[in-house]
Structures are given as C-alpha cells and as structure tokens.
Amino acid sequence: MNSKRRISFQLYRTLHILWKLRMGTLGSLIVVFACCVAIFASFIAPHNPYEGEITKRLMPPFWIEGGTKDHILGTDQVGRDLLTRIIFGSRVSLVVGFASVLISVTIGVFLGLISGYYGSIVDWIISSIVNIMLTFPFVLLALAVIAVVGPSFQNMLVVLGLTSWPFYTRVVRAEVLKWKELDFVEAARAMGMKSNRILFSQIFPNILNSVLVLSSLQVARFIILEAFLSFLGLGVQPPTPSWGGMLGDARVYMLTSWWLATFPGLAIFVATFGISLMGDGIRDFFDPHLRYQFLSSNLERG
C-alpha cells in the first residue's frame, strides 16, 4: 500500500466513524461552537453586557413591531442587549460545568479506586457515605450549603463539586471490582508490583472510558444546576451575566416580555443538548460491540 492510498484510507476511516456517530459529531460541533462563543465573547458580542440605555428597556426582538436590528433579540429590564448577555453568559455556564466536573472527578475517582481496590473497612466507610449522598437529593444539599456559606461564583463551584462526587465513586468502584480479578492484574502482582502502582498504572487506564462518558453527562447536569441556582439567586451574582440569572430576572416581566425568559433558556437547552449528544457519541465510540461494527464494516469495504 503506498502512502497516498494509506492517507486516503485513514481519511475514509475517520469520515466513516464520524458518519456512524453523526449525532455525536453534531453534539461535538455544538460544544466546540459554544466554547468558541465563550472564548471570543468580547469580539463577537454587539454591545456591552453590563451597560444598557434605560430608554431602550424591554425592547422586543427585531421581527416584532418595536424591535430594531440593533438589538436582534431585544433588550432586558435595564436596556441591556439580550444577545450580548447570552453570549457572555456562556462563559459562566461552561466554566461552572467543566470546573465542577473536574473537582468531582478528582475526588470521586480517587475514593472509588481506593474503595474498590482495598475493600474492607475503607470500602465500608466510603460506600456508606456514597449511599447517604446518593439517597438524598443533592439539589437540596447544595441549596442549603450555599445559603449558609453565602452565594458566590467560587462557592457554587465548590459546592457542586463536593456534592456530586459519589456518582463517580459508585461507578469507579464497580469497575475496579471487575478489573482487579483479571489475569493481568494478577500477573502484575506476581511480578512484585506494589499495590498503588497496580491501581494507578494497570487498573486506572481501563476505567478512563467510563469516567469520560459519565463526565460528559455530568457537565450537562451541572450547567442545568448552575442555571437553577442562579435562577434562585443563590448562584452567580448580578450583574455578571448568566443564563439562569437572566431567567430569574425574567420571571417578573413574563406577562409582557416573553423573550427575556425564552432565549436564555434556549441557550441552556442547546448547550446541554449538544453535550448530551457528545456524551452518547463518546459512549458509543468506546462500546466494544459498536466499535467492532465500525472496524468490521471498514474491513469489508476498505
């Protein structure tokens, strides 16, 4: 096989997998788009997100009478451009989503590894804590903790991260229990490898897939939770633009200005939808049965 053919084969293979996972690809594109919007917010936003003209308050979107092309999605209660605030709001949502996942992954995976691998009393303690936290609706827990420590961006990150690690611990623990019985772990132990090293260099890489899939679904949940907390006024504090906070403000003006409640929610919806699709795609990609399908259909044709 010459190099040119090999490249075209690789290209074909990649495109083929992307097509098989087309919903996941669509999701990834949405996520990439949202990230770009968040990063370049100050370049693409048409107005200043913090300053509005009070004379132009509560203007409808441009296709309705009274709206102008200058404010495509209309303006809010103090005359700030809605589109601009939605663009800047993506920053809060994405940062909270990914950062809280990072916190809960670190804690949850670590405890799950220990609890699954070492067993006995450590496992009992960790599993009890996990059971308690999973029985209880952690929305309530997060609400209560934030109310006591005071609402702020950092507190929200920490509370979301600290209240949701048990999901990871449960999944990781089950996976470790499955993997640690297998021959290659036995072999590593026979070769004299230390427990810690077996755990982190032999078992850990195998459970990364499950963690990745769970994380992508968690990011979506965190974005919705962040929005809900900000909606209640317990999350990001004004005037920082956040989708949930905008929805919270919009409640008062719902009778007259429907666009204030519609578009920020639509933004949350699109972002979480994209992330969920991406998560499903990642899961399909790592699923051995499905992957076999990709490869076999490649072999038949290529």
Partner 1 sequence: MRRLGQVVTICLGISFISFVLLHLTGDPVTVMLPLDAPEEEIALFRHKMGFDRPILVQYLTFLKNAARGDFGTSLFLERPATSLVLERFPASLLLVSCGFSVAMMIAIPLGIISALKNHTFIDNLCTSVAVMGQAMPLFWFALMMMIVFCIWLGWLPVSGYGTWKHLILPSVSMGVWMAPQTMRLTRSGMLDILSQDYVRTARAKGLSRRKVVVKHAFRNALIPVVTLVGMQFGFLVGAAVVTEMVFSWPGVASLLLNAIRTYDFPVVQASLVMLALFIISVNWAVDVIVTIIDPRIRDKRR
In the complex, which residues of this chain contact partner 1 (CB under 8 A)?
A: 23, 128-129, 131-132, 134-141, 143-145, 147-149, 220, 224, 227-228, 231-232, 247, 250-251, 254-255, 258, 261-262, 265, 268-269, 272-273, 275-277, 280
253, two tokens: 């003006």
Nearest CA to 168 among 129, 118, 139? 129
Q: Whose Cβ is closer to partner 1: residue 96's or residue 275's?
A: 275
CB of 109 to partner 1, least distance (A): 21
CB of 34 to partner 1, least distance (A): 13
Q: Which amino acid is at 91?
A: R
CB of 94 to partner 1, least distance (A): 15
Nearest CA to 212 among 142, 274, 280? 280
Q: Whose Cβ is closer to partner 1: residue 3's or residue 256's?
A: 256
CB of 59 to partner 1, least distance (A): 18
Q: Whose Cβ is closer to partner 1: residue 191's or residue 255's?
A: 255
* Long-range Cβ pairs for the range 137-141 (8 Å, 24+): 138/163, 138/164, 139/225, 139/228
208, two tokens: 């990364």
Judge whether 247 and 185 are in contact, CB under 8 Å. no
Q: Whose Cβ is closer to partner 1: residue 42's or residue 128's?
A: 128
CB of 148 to partner 1, least distance (A): 5
29, two tokens: 């594109």
Q: Whose Cβ is closer to partner 1: residue 132's or residue 295's?
A: 132
CB of 55 to partner 1, least distance (A): 26
CB of 144 to partner 1, least distance (A): 6
Q: Whose Cβ is closer to partner 1: residue 124's or residue 184's?
A: 124
260, two tokens: 């204030």
- Give me the helix-helix angle, 204-231 and 82-118, nearest 10°: 140
- Give me the helix-helix angle, 120-135 and 82-118, nearest 10°: 150
Which residues fall within 8 angstroms of residue 12, CB to CB, at 6 or more apart?
302
Judge whether 167 and 108 are in contact, CB under 8 Å. yes
Q: Whose Cβ is closer to partner 1: residue 24's or residue 49's?
A: 24
